[in-house]
Structure 1
Amino acid sequence: MLDKTIISNLEQIVGKKHVLTDKASLICYSYDATQRKFLPAAVVHPGSTEEISRIMALANQHRIPVYPRGAGSGFTGGSLPTSTDGIVLGLTRLDRILEIDEENLVATVEPGVVTEAFQKAVEKVGLFYPPDPASLKMSTLGGNVAECAGGPRCVKYGVTKDYIIGLEIVTPTGDIITTGGPTMKGVVGYDLTKLICGSEGTLAVITKVIIKLLPLPEAKKTMLVLFDSIDGAAQAVSSIIRNKIIPATLEFMDGRTLDCVRDATSLEVPDSARAVLIIEVDGDREFLDKQAHKIAEIIKPLGVVETRIAETPAESDALWQIRRSVSASLRRVNPDKFNEDICVPRSKVPEMIRKIDTISDKFGVPIVNFGHAGDGNIHVNIMIDSKIPGEQEKADQAIAAVFAGALELGGTMSGEHGVGIMKAPFVGMELGNAAIDYMKTIKKALDPNNILNPGKIFPSDV
């Protein structure tokens, strides 16, 4: 519970209608894409940077935890209000695209702008914002920056941090500062922009984002290739890149995923297919056919069962339908899903899949894999029925084993989703004590009273 005086002060800052304390509203902000729920003491929707500054100063003075929140689409609990006396700081009112600078290929936006809406806005003027997380239809750019979101196009274009060149932020103590700016170069002082990007809302509240844009590719061509093994699909990825071709996307699905797709849809997938790549190339229209056919020739000896090349946008959409059907089809395996996002060197993907199959057999839980083969990012979906006694414990053990397997192959336990609370207990597996202490020192220096998104990332805070 928050003191009535605090609630009154918050109402004076943002207006009474933008401070929510009723049970129904609090429940709406108590969860995200994880299966964890925490009820906050209040939800506050500021409408400006200045209001956020005043909120943070008030919270810091009274040692009130503040949890920044975008759309709540995260998979690791990064925005969950884990303290019962905490405030959820909803940023969806700050949803303006402030400028699209066509001359300098730069845009300035507020954090509540939905990713897909921004992409469509810049594409209307012939520009391109490549990062494309799966949640792009609902996730916000502020959340993308906080989590350093990725997506299928990362193999060619990189992740969110590669396009963020400046920020306006509010510190935990209420100061308003800017980092970076609209220039393509800038090396004055520490790179605070990159520090904030991926910090999961623990160091600052993002209030404006300056984004680097690219020219919109003229065209794209999609192809779907079915293989008789995951090894053939992985060899195909390496062969394509070895031949100096970097597709815009290189998505894969393993055999278990294909089984789910077969059962849940009417899509025709041969029984002999045990892996699939969805490959998309983009660029000048005149080169795309040549590039697609070159890829087809390169991978032909690697156990290809069938190759489908889209000739029209409608055909391209039909090929992507196989990928889009995956998440819904997984619920046919079991009702509860734990979506992990390990990343290994791309040549190690087949070995990692075999490790996962062994883990699945050992703990008796179905595991379905798909993801971004071009950068080795595997979405490991551990499927259980949590109503069955002992299933949650099996899932926890399987998750720990998957993380250990990824690290053994030189990988990481998170390529896109971040740490939040779900992966915090495992951070020590990947980071040494010295590195963790170094990060905690930064957190302590910037947030001396530990009020901004406390309890996230570091294991001792969970």
Structure 2
Amino acid sequence: MPDGVVFAESAEDVVTTMRLAAANRTPIVTRGAGTGLAAGASARSGEVVLDLSRMNSILRIDPVEQLAVVQPGVLNGELNAAAAQHGLFYAPDPASTAICSIGGNIATNAGGMRCAKYGVTREAVLALQVILADGRELRTGRETLKGVTGYDLNALITGSEGTLGVVVEATLRLRPLPVATATVAAFFPDFATAAAAASAVIAARIQPSLLELIDGQTLEAVDMALGTTYRSRGGAFLLAQTDGYGAYLEQDVLIEAIRPFASSYEKAADPDEADRLIMARREAIPSLEKLGRVSIGDIGVPRGRLAEVAVGLDEISARTGVKLRGRG
């Protein structure tokens, strides 16, 4: 167990905590919503947890400049609900979007399903207020989309996982809610074929807002958890969305790209059906965890070589006897 927990309610609380910790050479472990999968918010004896969950105010939403100023304990889903009232949304969309905090998103440079088009958290951070290890305050960035002078300290801090300082306020870029969204679900005989289809979509020169793969074993876990029947329809699943004014035109191009590979495909008839399909992807990890201990790792590969990765994972699994499940 850690030696103690500080429940910060203001930037001043964080300043005091960091000064005392520096003076006493006590390690600080910052905690947001605790949803991370790499134990970054877990502390041990000799360490003190700095919990930011009570710093959870949305300080300002500017619908003209399309930005939000928030404290780190604000949940991703709460920010999106507030932004939607102004016809806007916050693009980073981790699977835990309903329960993860903005501070945690910034610390880990979280991505999510929409990063194919809108990028990861780093692309959404305009400015930060950070408390350094000795209690000094640092302000980075600006409140404009264009900013070309000086070092990009936003990019340095985003993804640093609390090793450079504690974020106590963030100015974030919002985007207009798409005027239209088109969703396609496709099934394939195996994961390698589905990966080849995903590469074909990229080669078709369109930019889906969402392009997600799930292999057959993960589909089985989702079916068991949600009562669905996805696995009976194929050995792999590809979920794709296009958005904006050209959503349905891009959808037509996308379908033509995947048609030679797919066993079957369907268009979501309405937003509710689209949400159900997206839920299958969001529930992939929780569904696998219900079957036993899961070790999760991310890899990055060129998009045109996804099929090679799928084949390689199968080979590793066969050689080692370790069950490997693919999603991405």
Structure 1 residue 331: Cα displacement: 4.2
CA apart distance, 1:75? 1.2
What one-letter code is carried by the residue in structure 2 that aligns with 1:251?
Answer: E
Instruction: Please tell me whether the aligned partners of residues 223 and 231 of structure 2 are also in contact (alpha carbons under 8 angstroms).
Output: no
Partner of 2:280: 322
Distance 1:198 1:161, change over 3 A: same
Out of 293, 298, 310, the residue aligned to residue 257 of structure 2 is 298
- For 1:132, the equivalent position in structure 2 comes to 93
**CA offsets per residue over residues 312-359 of structure 1, 9 Å max, x none?**
112212323432443344246x41111111121122222222222222
Report % sequence identity.
38
Unaligned runs of 5+ in 1: 1-38, 372-462
Aligned to 2:321: 364
Task: Give the conservation status (yes or no) of the 8 Å contact 1:146–1:199.
Answer: yes
**In structure 2, distance between residues paired with 1:126 and 1:191:** 29
Q: Map residues 26-425 of structure 1 onto 2, 5 A cutoff.
A: 39-82=1-44, 84-269=45-230, 271=232, 273-284=234-245, 287-302=246-261, 304-331=262-289, 334-371=291-328
1:191 is matched by which residue type in structure 2? D
Summarize the Cα distance change of 1:207–1:369 in structure 2 as closer, same or farther, 3 Å threshold.
Answer: same
* Greater mean alpha carbon deviation, residues 323-332 or residues 72-81: 323-332
Q: What CA deviation, in whole Å up to 9, does each residue of 1:30-52 have, x standing for no partner?
A: xxxxxxxxx11000011111221
SS of corresponding position for 2:296? strand
**Cα deviation digits, residues 62-90 of structure 1 (max 9, x gap):** 111111110111111222214x1211000
Following TM superposition, by how much is the alpha carbon of 1:294 offset from its aligned partner in structure 2, in angstroms?
2.8
Aligned 8 A contact 2:69 2:171 in 1: yes
Report which stretch shifted further, 219-228 or 258-267.
Answer: 258-267
The superposition leaves residues 344-377 of structure 1 with CA deviations (integer Å, 9 ceiling, x where unpaired) of 1122222222222222233322221112xxxxxx
Q: Assess, with a 3 A threshold, how the Cα gap between structure 1 residues 272 and 104 changes in structure 2: closer, same or farther.
A: closer
- Alpha-carbon deviations, 1:121-141, whole Å to 9, x = none? 111101121100111111100
Give me the whole-angstrom Cα distance separating, in 1, the residues matched to 2:293 and 2:313. 18
TM-score, normalising length: structure 2: 0.94
Superposed displacement of residue 270, structure 1: 6.3
**Contact kept in structure 2, 1:53 and 1:174, CA below 8 Å:** yes
Q: CA deviation at 1:251?
A: 0.5
Contiguous gaps of at least 5 residues in structure 2: none
Distance 1:167 1:275, change over 3 A: same
TM-score by length of 1: 0.68
Q: 1:48 to 1:260 in 2, by over 3 A?
A: closer
Secondary structure at 2:325's aligned position in 1?
Answer: strand
Cα 1:174–1:325, aligned 2, differ >3 Å: closer, same or farther? closer
Distance apart, 1:264 and its partner CA? 4.8
| Corresponding letter in the other structure for 1:225 | A
Measured at CA, do residues 168 and 324 of structure 1 come closer, stay the same or move farther in structure 2, by a change above 3 Å?
closer
Name the CA distance, whole Å, in 1 between partners of 2:39 and 2:231.
38
SS in 2 for 1:132: coil
Counterparts in 2 of 1:338 and 1:203: CA distance versus 1, 3 Å: same
- d(CA) in 2 for partners of 1:331, 1:73: 14
**RMSD (Å) for aligned C-alpha atoms:** 1.8
Q: Return the letter of the residue paired with 1:298.
A: A
CA distance, structure 2, for counterparts of residue 46 and residue 259 of structure 1 = 42
Aligned length: 328
SS at match of 1:178: strand
CA deviation after TM superposition for structure 1 residue 233, in Å: 1.8
Query: 1:310 is aligned with what amino acid?
Result: A
Task: Decide which structure has the larger Cα Rg and report it.
Answer: 1
Q: Distance in 1 between matches of 2:292 and 2:268?
A: 34
